[in-house]
Structures are given as structure tokens and as C-alpha cells.
Structure 1
Amino acid sequence: MYRIGELAKQCEVKADTLRFYEKHGLLAPSSRTDSGYRIYTEADAERLRFILRAKAVGFTLAEITELLSIELDKSNWACADVKGMVDDKLAHVEAKIAELNHFQLSLQRLSQACCGGPESAEHCSILEALESNTDSIRCENDKHSHDERQFTKNCNDKSHT
């Protein structure tokens, strides 16, 4: 049997985390003492570790709730159901990575387009690109280049000299 602080310490989380999980229905103390202290069993500790592992691989609280309901009633679920959840999560993560890669490339292009010098930002290519409704970014050092591939080459060549 564990008190809330003992279980929190054993699982390296704060007691507030356990209260949060309790509030959201993920975890409930097996009982309470006469004075109202939460008491957790080893089964509760295992459930908490399950929650923490699921959270560590990126599942949301709603998804963890669903996984816990499957865990409690395994005989009425197929392995394919659980795999489907994991595959959906994986597809979501892959889409997020693609989005972040797009952000990274866009930010690299913006950064490379700017000389970064002490001059006035009146003609800053970053600000101009963000103000425009086009996807083209022009290098400050080459205002006449509208071709993005040429711009990238020009900016890269100039940044290495």
C-alpha cells in the first residue's frame, strides 16, 4: 500500500500528477484512510506505470483512457484494435514530422534570404516575404531575382563569402 507521496516518488512524478490523473478518471486510489489520505495498491502502481509509459510514447489522455479500457477488458478486444490505435498515432506523428520539416525548410529559406546586417529593416526580405501573399522569397542582396532556386543559390553563395 502506498500513500500518494510514496507512489509519486516511486514513479518519479509529483503528487499533483496523480491527482490530475484521478480528476480525469485515469487513476483512482483503491481506498482512503479514515483521515482522507489516498491509499494505492500495487495494481494502482502498475496502472500508473502503464499511463506514464503510454504518455511517454505520445498518447493523449483520451487515447490512454481508451487503452486502459482495452487493458481492463482484453478478452473483448482484438490485437488489431490496439495496433490500429498505434498505427493511427504513428500516422499522426509522421504527419506532424512532415509539417515540422516544412516549417524548418521555410525558416531556413527565410534566414538564408536575409543578410542579417545592421541596416534598417525597411527592406528586410524576411518581413517582405511575411507581408506578401506569395511563397517567393527574395534575397536582400539580389532584389531582382524572383526565381526561388536562383535566390537560394545566390544567398548561399553570398553567405559563404
Structure 2
Amino acid sequence: MYKIGELAKVCEVSRRTIDYYTRMGLLECTRSANNYRYYDLNALENLKMIEHCQQNHMTLAEIKQRLLLKKTDNIDYRVVEEQVNHIKIEMDHLNGEINDILHFVNSLNEEDKKKVLNKVSPQAVALLQSLVMLSV
């Protein structure tokens, strides 16, 4: 169990952020007799998921839906469909960005290409190489 300050430190967010997420219903806590808030490992996982979803430009309302989906046994088809549609839109956006970047990467000399590709993850390099082969 984590106090709010401990959870904030572990997840590298502010106490205020955790308080806000708790008030919004994104995080759950238990209260002690002296009114301290304690967060369990599930809250830690949810906070990491919230941060990840925000990095993927999801709104807090969309994140809340995803968290509800995670903890329910009775999954609503429409909610899942919305999540899939959101991911598809993001993938389409990223595909457009990759195509734009590929144009620039292909115009670089071999040495500069290597420098650029060394700065991205192995998965991204594999994806870029696959796209280059498909675009030829």
C-alpha cells in the first residue's frame, strides 16, 4: 500500500495529479482511521496505464472507459468498438507521419541514415525497413 506521496514518487507524477485522478474516479484509494489515503498495486498499475494512454493522446474520458473495461467481467461491445476505432485512427495518423519521415530518411546519405536509425527502437527500425521495402 502506498500513501499518496509515495505513489507520486514511484510514478513520477505530482500528488496533485493523483488527487485529481482520484476525484475523477480514475484511481481508487482506501482511507485509514487517521484519514490518510492508501493506494494498492492496482492503483499503481492504473496510474501507469493512465500515463501511457495520455502519451497516446487519449482523453481522460476515454481513459476512464478503458479502466472500466479493464475491471468489468461484462464487456460492452460498443465500448470495445470505440477503443478499436480510437487505435485505428491513431495508427492511421502514425502511418502518415511514418510516410512523411520515410521521404526524408530516403534522401539521406547512408551514414546519416544510420545515425537516425540508431536513435529509434529496434521495433521502429524493423517497421521502417519493412515500409521502405514495401514502398519500393
TM over 0.5: yes
Amino acid at match of 2:65: E
Q: Distance in 2 between matches of 1:74 and 1:57?
A: 25
The Cα of 1:86 is off from its aligned counterpart by 1.5
Partner of 2:25: 25
Q: Distance in 2 between matches of 1:89 and 1:38?
A: 36
Taking structure 1 as the reference length, the TM-score comes to 0.51
Residue 13 of structure 2: SS of its match in structure 1?
coil
8 Å CA contact 1:59, 1:89 repeated in 2: no
Q: Distance in 1 between matches of 2:64 and 2:37?
A: 21
The Cα of 1:44 is off from its aligned counterpart by 1.1
Partner of 1:117: none
Partner of 2:84: 83
Residue 39 of structure 1: SS of its match in structure 2?
strand
The percentage of counterpart residues that share the same residue type is 31
Give me the CA root mean square deviation.
2.4
Partner of 1:2: 2
Structure 1 unpaired stretches of 5+: 98-161
The aligned runs of 1:90-105 (5 Å cut-off) are: none
Q: Distance in 2 between matches of 1:69 and 1:85?
A: 16
Amino acid at match of 2:44: A
Partner of 1:54: 53
Q: Distance in 2 between matches of 1:80 and 1:38?
A: 32
The Cα of 1:88 is off from its aligned counterpart by 3.8
8 Å CA contact 1:2, 1:40 repeated in 2: yes
Amino acid at match of 1:27: L
1:73 and 2:75 correspond: no
Is the deviation greater in 79-88 or in 43-52? 79-88
Residue correspondences, number: 93
Residue 27 of structure 2: SS of its match in structure 1?
coil
The Cα of 1:87 is off from its aligned counterpart by 2.0
**Cα deviations by residue, 1:2-52 (Å, 9 ceiling, x for unpaired):** 0000000000001000001011111121x1111111001111111111111
Is the deviation greater in 10-19 or in 44-53? 44-53
Distance change (3 Å), C-alpha of 1:89 and 1:67: farther
Residue 51 of structure 1: SS of its match in structure 2?
helix
Amino acid at match of 1:5: G
Q: Distance in 1 between matches of 2:61 and 2:91?
A: 16
Divergent runs of 4+, >3 A: 77-80, 88-91
Partner of 2:11: 11
